[in-house]
């Protein structure tokens, strides 16, 4: 039997901090030994933390690769649905079943940690330790990213000041500065004020460090040399002829790599039940790709039976980028996906409740209402489709909360059964690994039955259909836009990138994480014009002889009045404050904004 928590000394009702402080850490060398890492690859970094030298990857390369599992979720409510706790609990559950498993997570940003969102180390009896150090600085990787990013910003301004070749156009500089705090006063600034030696006056500003392209690059690099190449390709702006100018041309890539040399090493920690935890890199999920590092995944995959990683926000966000960006960069193919749902999120997506960040949940959300769970099921079914579009059928993890009712869990099971998906209730927050054992067993069964499929999806430029030259892209895209139309300015930008040699690259579009659409309050799931909002009609069309919708006598729940969503579901407006910006120059307001 795998080791369990040293001491569940705190009462079940204890808060996260009390539980974390009551736990007894194992020596980090013991955790590394369980991974089979050689002693010379482990660099202790204080009590309970270590850096792993990349030589560890070479020492593990000959071992067989374990199972690769990604944890995602339905579109979350503002408080979140517990992907991190589920990933940690799942690993502890696998460990209790006798498997060797580790979890790979992103490093928390101090902006959300010190804001409304809070930390990102799990909760209850499914946490990574030491919690306080992880949430506050850890090993300083985020600060190293900030230093490297701002070094490039300083060299860009120096390049402008001395009018070096290639000559940057000051109006087309795309490289902002970063800080790992929420500070709205720094969003938009005028730089270069003062005397002649203080630079060229121009508009600039700060973003939060987790939104930095340097952070995204750090997570995708698989070696120091690869990091150097990727940093050199970063585009800082355009020259006078409209051609891209890179960090390599500015002369900054080498110095940036030196600043990130230690940050490229993954951080090794442990869960409350002493499962290995690899916490490394922290790109945001609504701006960047929202996934932890490739090097951490490679170490975990070759060091045990399972590596469980978490992708930011819903399946239309971090998971889509996990498949189409991270897996393409790494060449790794996932074996399974877990999709986290909660009763409160399904009720929220029924459109009957308003949940505000930092405010208690409304009392109306806490009452027993399986019908509201079914009404919000459109979002769950669409997110299941989003995962299936990448070759995997997810296992649905019902993250149980104390106020849930059995009838509501049963409604979720009915929703999942209607599309042939496993669903298990998980009480890992309250019970640790024991509460996730049923979920772990369902995951193993799904892997045993799964077809092995690849994720090397083609990326053609949207083709033209019809006499009107209508552009249609990503017909089965996670956003499910009406008609999938690209606006002319977006198509022009894509065509420009292709002329510049970026045809084979995926496009990471910044959008709100609070809905499937480009609008923050767009309701449960976008629907075809004139269509119904119910879960049945939001899913792919069923045959006329389909069985009645669970709990009803008719195939459609049109007889149940559908409340209006939080704002129009229409996606035909020219622009909204949360709409995707394919230029990448403005950021989506919200938790990932430096001035939240």
pLDDT in tens, the chain (596 residues): 444 544 444 444 689 999 999 999 999 999 999 899 988 999 999 899 999 999 877 878 889 999 999 999 999 988 889 999 999 999 999 999 999 999 999 999 988 888 877 788 999 999 999 999 999 999 999 999 999 999 999 999 999 999 999 999 999 999 999 999 999 999 999 999 999 899 999 999 999 999 999 999 999 999 999 999 999 999 999 999 999 999 999 999 999 999 999 999 999 999 999 999 999 999 998 889 999 999 999 999 999 999 999 999 999 999 999 999 999 999 999 999 999 999 999 999 888 888 887 788 888 888 999 999 999 999 999 999 999 999 999 999 999 999 999 999 999 999 999 999 999 999 999 999 999 999 999 999 999 988 554 444 433 333 333 333 333 334 345 554 444 567 888 889 889 888 888 888 888 888 887 777 666 666 566 554 444 544 445 444 433 333 333 333 333 433 333 333 332 222 222 233 333 332 333 333 333 333 33
Question: How would you classify residue 290: left for phi > 0, otherwise alpha for psi between -120 and 50, otherwise beta?
Answer: left
Q: What does the pLDDT read at residue 522?
A: 61
Looking up tokens 């996990």 gives 322
How far is residue 395's CA from residue 321's CA, in Å, rounded to a whole number?
19
Listing DSSP states for 518-539 in one string gives SSTT--S----TT---SHHHHS
CA distances from 326 to 149, 318, 321 (A): 21, 10, 7
Q: What is the pLDDT at residue 457?
A: 40
Exposure string for 401-416, b = 16+ CB within 10 A, e = fewer: beebeeebbebbbbbb
Give the CA angle between residues 370, 375, 378 to the nearest 5°.
130
Q: How far is CA 479 from CA 129, 219, 569, 592, in A?
A: 36, 25, 12, 20
- How does strand 177-179 pair with strand 206-208? parallel
The answer to whether 237 and 174 are in contact (CB under 8 A) is: yes
DSSP type of residue 277: E
Give me the residue label for tokens 């790794």: 332
Q: Which residues are 51's β-sheet partners?
A: 43, 267
- Residue 119: predicted pLDDT: 83
Looking at residue 478, its pLDDT comes to 57
- The pLDDT, as a whole number, for residue 489 is 87
CA distance 66 to 521: 40
Q: In the CATH scheme, what architecture does the domain 141-256 have?
A: 2-Layer Sandwich (3.30)
pLDDT of residue 266: 97
174/235 Cα distance (integer angstroms): 8
Q: Decide the pairing of beta strands 423-426 and 395-399.
A: parallel
The DSSP line for 186-219 is GSSEEE--SSGGG---EEE-EEEGGG-HHHHHHH
For residue 141 the two structure tokens come to 């990787």
- The CA R_g of the chain, rounded to the nearest whole Å, is 24
**Could you write out the DSSP letters of every residue in 41-80?**
GEEE-STT-EEE-THHHHHHTTSPP-EEEEEEESSPPTT-
Largest CA distance in the chain: 78
Question: Are 335 and 447 spatial neighbours (Cβ–Cβ below 8 Å)?
Answer: yes
Q: Is the C-alpha dihedral spanning 77, 386, 295, 27 positive or negative?
A: positive
Closest CA to 121 of 32, 208, 21: 21
- Pairing of β 126-129 and β 267-271: antiparallel
β-bridge mates for residue 58, sequence order: none
Let me know how many helices (H) and strands (E) the chain has, helices first: 23, 21
Distance separating alpha carbons of residues 398 and 82, to the nearest angstrom? 10
Tokens found for residue 578: 């949360």
Dihedral (Cα; 413, 417, 420, 421), 10-degree rounding = 0
CA-nearest of 343, 302, 286 to 82 is: 343
Given a contact cutoff of 8 angstroms between Cβ atoms, the answer to whether 309 and 297 are in contact is yes
Instruction: Identify the pLDDT of residue 232.
Output: 98
Identify the bridge partners of residue 470 per DSSP, sorted by sequence position. 465
Number of other CB atoms surrounding residue 181 within 10 Å: 18
Q: Which residues, in sequence order, are CB contacts of 21 under 8 Å at separation 6+? A: none
Tokens of 540: 């792919």
Kindly write down the DSSP assignment for every residue of 118-183, as one continuous string.
Answer: ---SEETTEEEESHHHHHTTTTSHHHHHHHHHHHHHHHHHHHHHHTPSS-EEEEEE---EEESS--
pTM of the model as a whole: 0.84
Helix (H) or strand (E) holding 496: helix 488-499
In sequence order, the 6+-apart residues with CB closer than 8 A to the CB of 328 are: 455, 456, 506
Integer Cα distance of 377 and 472 in angstroms: 27
CA 418 to chain centroid, in Å, comes to: 27
pLDDT for position 324: 92
Tell me the backbone φ, ψ of residue 278, rounded to 5 degrees: -105, 110
């Amino acid at each position: 039997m795998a080791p369990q928590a040293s001491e569940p000394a705190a009462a079940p009702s204890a808060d996260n901090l009390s539980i974390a402080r009551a736990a007894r850490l194992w020596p980090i060398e013991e955790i590394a030994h369980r991974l089979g890492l050689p002693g010379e690859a482990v660099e202790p970094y204080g009590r309970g933390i270590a850096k792993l030298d990349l030589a560890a990857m070479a020492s593990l390369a000959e071992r067989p690769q374990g199972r690769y599992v990604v944890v995602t979720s339905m579109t979350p409510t503002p408080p979140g649905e517990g992907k991190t706790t589920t990933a940690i609990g799942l690993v502890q559950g696998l460990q209790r079943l006798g498997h060797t498993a580790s979890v790979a997570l992103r490093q928390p940003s101090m902006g959300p940690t010190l804001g409304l969102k809070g930390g990102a180390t799990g909760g209850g009896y499914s946490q990574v330790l030491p919690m306080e150090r992880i949430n506050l600085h850890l090993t300083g990787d985020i600060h190293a990213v900030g230093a490297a990013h701002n070094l490039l910003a300083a060299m860009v301004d120096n390049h402008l000041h001395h009018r070096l070749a290639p000559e940057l156009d000051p109006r087309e500089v795309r490289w902002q500065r970063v800080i790992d705090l929420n500070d709205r006063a720094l969003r938009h600034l005028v730089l270069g004020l003062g005397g002649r030696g203080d630079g060229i006056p121009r508009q600039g500003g700060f973003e939060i460090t987790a939104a930095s392209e340097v952070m995204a690059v750090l997570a995708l690099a698989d070696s120091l040399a690869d990091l150097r190449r990727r940093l050199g390709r970063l585009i800082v702006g355009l020259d006078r002829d409209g051609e891209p100018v890179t960090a390599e041309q500015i002369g900054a890539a080498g110095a940036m790599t030196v600043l990130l040399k230690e940050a490229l090493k993954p951080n090794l920690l442990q869960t409350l039940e002493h499962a290995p935890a690899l916490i490394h890199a922290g790109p945001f999920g609504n701006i960047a790709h929202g996934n932890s590092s490739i090097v951490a995944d490679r170490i975990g995959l070759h060091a045990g039976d399972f590596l469980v990683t978490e992708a930011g926000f819903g399946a239309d966000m971090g998971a889509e980028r996990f498949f189409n960006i991270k897996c393409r960069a790494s060449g790794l193919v996932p074996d399974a996906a877990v999709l986290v749902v909660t009763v409160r999120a399904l009720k929220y997506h029924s459109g009957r409740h308003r949940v505000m960040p930092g405010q208690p949940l409304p009392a109306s959300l806490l009452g027993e209402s399986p019908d509201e769970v079914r009404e919000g099921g459109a979002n769950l079914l669409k997110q299941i489709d989003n995962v299936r579009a990448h070759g995997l059928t997810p296992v649905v993890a019902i993250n149980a909360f104390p106020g849930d009712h059995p009838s509501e869990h049963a409604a979720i099971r009915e929703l999942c059964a209607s599309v042939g998906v496993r669903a298990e209730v998980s009480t890992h927050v309250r019970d640790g690994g024991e509460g996730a054992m049923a979920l772990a067993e369902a995951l193993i069964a799904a892997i045993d039955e799964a077809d092995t499929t690849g994720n090397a999806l083609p990326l053609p430029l949207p083709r033209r259909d019809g006499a009107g030259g209508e552009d249609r892209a990503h017909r089965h895209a996670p956003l499910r836009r009406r008609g999938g139309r690209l606006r002319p300015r977006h198509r022009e930008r894509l065509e420009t990138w292709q002329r510049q040699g970026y045809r084979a690259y995926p496009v990471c579009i910044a959008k709100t994480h609070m809905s499937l659409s480009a609008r923050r309050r767009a309701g449960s799931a976008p629907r075809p014009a004139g269509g119904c909002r119910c879960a049945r009609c939001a899913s792919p069309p069923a045959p006329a002889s389909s069985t009645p919708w669970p709990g009803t006598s008719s195939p459609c729940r049109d007889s149940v009045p559908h409340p209006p969503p939080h704002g129009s579901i229409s996606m035909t407006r020219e622009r909204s404050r949360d709409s995707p910006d394919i230029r990448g120059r403005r950021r989506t307001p919200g938790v990932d904004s430096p001035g939240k």
